[in-house]
Structure 1
Amino acid sequence: MTKLYLVGTGPGDKDLIAPKAMAAVLASSDLVAYGLYLALLGSVCDGKTHHDLPLGEEIGRARLALNLAASGKTTALVSSGDIGIYAMATLVFELLDQQLQGKERHPEWLDVDIEVVPGISAMQAGASRVGAMLGHDFCTISLSDLLTPWQTIEKRLHACGAGDFVVSFYNPRSKKRDWQINTAQDILLQYRPQDTPVLLGRQLTRDDENITITTLAKLHSDDVDMFTLVSVGNSESRHIVNGAKEWIYTPRGYSKKL
């Protein structure tokens, strides 16, 4: 049976790539990815056939990976972060589902042995940079309305606010979308204090990483771009300062036992 690895390579720092992810890449003859993800892996990709499809070609990437694996080539479909979180793994399984429903004409895909190899997500990397922001219940919401109607996103924002979840926003802004993060801010301010701590993590774990700690009241789209993770604390999240060191943590209730 031919093999397809769905590999998450983490936020960017090579030291944060799981050994199993590295082994999957090494075991593959063909690598399918957006080119930047392979560049971040470096020399481990040498000697392998690269199939670099640009952003916006996600369906093409998933189809190509399945076709390569079905043809007998050990293949790795590579994504940054965790490939199962807002990434390519779900699209591969959606295509398989379509095949099982008779909506695709690739029965050979069903013979491919698929292994998902997880990676560290941006929200985990960001939280680690400032302490323990995800210490209690949390959720993630993508603010991109390219695939999800804004009405659905807005409903989830209100649910997040009412449930008092720490929330990490993926896709908070792009060149054509600059208003969603400000609308998300307005909604959350209906449920939690203005001084709720907010993490802005740009290019997390990479050479040009930038970490900013601000508040929900001061959050603005001008400080965010497509490379930024935005994490907003809940009503109990704390921003503490010790000299030059700053931390955010979200308590779980241990103070009752201290």
Structure 2
Amino acid sequence: MTGRLVIIGTGPGNPEQITPEASAAIATGEQFFGYGPYLDRLTLRPDQHRIASDNREEIDRARAALDAASKGASVCVVSGGDPGVFAMAAAICEAVETGPETWRRLEIKVLPGVTAMLAAAARAGAPLGHDFCALSLSDNLKPWELIERRLRAVAEAGLVIALYNPISKARPWQLATGFKILREVLPVTTPVIFGRAIGRPDEHFVVVPLGEAHQQKADMATCVIIGSTQTRIIDRPGMDPLVYSPRSAEP
């Protein structure tokens, strides 16, 4: 008997930002695999079962979810934000590629969600209005030297940069080092957006120039967006500024 596996994102944390498609998948799911705080965002029935695991156990979680689906269960794998952006959809694919043939025969669906980068950008205005990229500052799965090269390259290429996983207790120095690299390439007046827990009660939002950006403003719940040389700020009396990147670019 073969079940099905749906990979969903809960968005930035505001229940209103979970898509109707994801809500429908949650309503029909039987077993829910995910990081505990993400599962806590769901209101499950008594007949629905949650299997929580640590945030660093993605591959083990993926294998357990695939095994449950292969035995006939209707499985939901839960991520925050969008499941395809630094999240569980890639882990599921990795597990399928190296796992048993039966996993390749499963019905697997990835449902898009609102990722932190989009929530923070919407809160600011339109900083992603022109070309941009997303980078994770975590060196758990890639060397820090590669992260440094990519930071410098995309800054020199004129891309707006959205940084995920900017800082943690195990990595307290990396965001400050990243800002140092960026200040070697970009003007110190470049806008930097700190968007923490956007849409949730503990939201924190601030825009500062690159020359004043400090790692103390960020944690793992923060998405940091660094503008390009084209990104502009529109000051508004008594309100947060609008930050946007024009649709056109100068050579």
More displaced stretch, 116-125 vs 56-65: 56-65
| TM-score with structure 1 setting the length | 0.92
Superposed counterparts of 1:1-258, under 5 Å: 1-41=2-42, 43-44=43-44, 46-99=46-99, 106-245=100-239, 246-253=241-248
Once residues 83 and 231 of structure 1 are traced to their aligned partners in structure 2, the CA distance between those partners, rounded to angstroms, is 20
Q: CA deviation at 1:46?
A: 4.9
Partner Cα distance (1:254, 1:226) in 2? 32
Structure 2 regions of 5+ residues with no counterpart? none
Alpha-carbon contact 1:164-1:191 (below 8 Å) kept: no
The TM-score normalised by the length of structure 2 is 0.95
> Which residue identity is paired with 2:5?
L
Q: State the alpha-carbon separation in 2 of the partners of residues 47 and 75 from structure 1.
A: 13
The list of structure 1 runs, each at least 4 consecutive aligned residues, that deviate by more than 6 angstroms after superposition, is: none
* Identical columns (%): 40
1:244 counterpart letter in structure 2: G
Per-residue deviation, 1:126: 0.1
- Once the two structures are TM-superposed, the CA of residue 140 in structure 1 deviates from its matched residue by 0.8
Report if aligned partners of 2:134, 2:164 keep a CA contact under 8 Å in 1. Answer: yes
CA distance in 1, matches of 2:67, 2:81: 24
Instruction: Give the Cα–Cα distance (whole angstroms) in 1 for the partners of residues 214 and 46 of structure 2.
Output: 42
| Cα separation, 1, equivalents of 2:3 and 2:217 | 46
3-state SS of the aligned residue for 1:126?
A: helix
State the 1:44 CA deviation.
Answer: 4.5
Deviation at 1:191, TM superposition (A): 2.1
Q: Which moves more between the two structures, 77-86 or 222-231?
A: 222-231
Alpha carbons 1:25, 1:45 under 8 Å: kept: no
**Quick one: structure 1 residues 254 and 186, their matched pair in 2 at CA, closer, same or farther if it must change by over 3 Å?**
closer
- Structure 1: gaps spanning 5 or more residues: 100-105
Q: Which amino acid aligns with 1:225?
A: D
| Letter aligned with residue 25 of structure 2 | A
Q: Compare 76-85 and 200-209 and name the one that shifted more.
A: 200-209
Task: Tell me the distance in 2 between the aligned counterparts of 1:162 and 1:117.
Answer: 34
Please report how far the alpha carbon of residue 108 of structure 1 lies from its aligned counterpart in structure 2 after TM superposition: 2.1
Q: Structure 1 residues 254 and 157, CA, compared in 2 at 3 Å: closer, same or farther?
A: closer
Q: Deviations over 1:122-153 (max 9, x none)?
A: 00000010111110000011111111101111
Q: Distance in 1 between matches of 2:58 and 2:96?
A: 15
